[in-house]
Structure 1
């Protein structure tokens, strides 16, 4: 089984797959008579289809132990998907490049407190994988008609550690 080493989540490393959602380094400006700082336009929310709409959901996920065997990745061909943590617990973000034969070898990233991700439309990725404790998330993704989920099972699983 091939081993995938977990790396820190950075904007540069994750750019081929989407956006890192975090305050650090973001465009910001004061609002509400200077009582609030707006960290502006942190992710490109994508939806396709005539009756498509962005939607917001809340998720509560149980933690996964490491090392983790990765057998499957998924993608959403009709819209992006953002995960914004409401707890300080890290979570694992897995993404894989597209190849002519489907998803390629995945990369694994560990978030720092205050980091979320926006996974681009049609990007192969792992499932929501909280680490270190029960974790709550705001999820922004696409609602509407059409099938917005494809799954791919690897012939040989990967071990993420």
Structure 2
């Protein structure tokens, strides 16, 4: 299966989460992020992730992940482009591979993945890259689920080869 990347916009990404960037003329643009859903007790976790090697396109993705208890946010700490691959769930909870979407986030953009949105692991098209990451965690529950794909998802530039 092949997906072509397109620029990340709120209107295209909105079913999966929010694009973190400033909109409009107001001084502040508030973000909606749910760190604990219905699960208590949860605490906010914060860390910085480093990506040492750039991802080239075309690329193949063999695994998706999701976080059933909390949204998860990624904010680049330097001017980078990064790959955003998302997928809704089928009724059985597994990724709906036919509905996967691929985006390129540009400099000045971050993302919030909503709870239960399947997504590819963090990969940057520019390296080195560092990201501020935050999500809810629970001491007595797992907030990370992984799915090995039965066949790789190929991601390419429009008109590119996979």
Q: Is the 8 A contact 2:71 2:113 kept in 1?
A: yes
Matched ranges for 1:26-37 at <5 A: 26=24, 28-29=26-27
Matched ranges for 1:11-160 at <5 A: 11-23=10-22, 25-26=23-24, 28-29=26-27, 39-48=28-37, 49-62=39-52, 63-101=54-92, 102-105=94-97, 106-145=100-139, 146-160=141-155
CA positional deviation for 1:3: 1.5
Return 5+ residue gaps in structure 1 as ranges.
30-38
Dislocated runs of 4+, deviation >3 Å: none
CA positional deviation for 1:97: 1.1
CA positional deviation for 1:45: 2.9
CA positional deviation for 1:158: 1.4
Return 5+ residue gaps in structure 2 as ranges.
157-162
Q: Which has the larger radius of gyration?
A: 1
> What do residues 44-66 of structure 1 show as CA deviations (whole Å, max 9, x unaligned)?
23314222012221111122122
2: CA distance between counterparts of 1:99 and 1:89? Answer: 32
Q: Is the 8 A contact 1:75 1:122 kept in 2?
A: yes
1: CA distance between counterparts of 2:131 and 2:104? Answer: 15
Aligned to 2:8: 9
Structure number with the higher strand fraction is 1
The verdict on how the C-alpha distance between 1:150 and 1:27 changes in structure 2, with shifts beyond 3 A counting, is: farther
Q: Is the 8 A contact 2:80 2:125 kept in 1?
A: yes
Aligned to 2:159: none
Structure-2-length-normalised TM-score: 0.86
CA positional deviation for 1:89: 0.9
Structure-1-length-normalised TM-score: 0.87
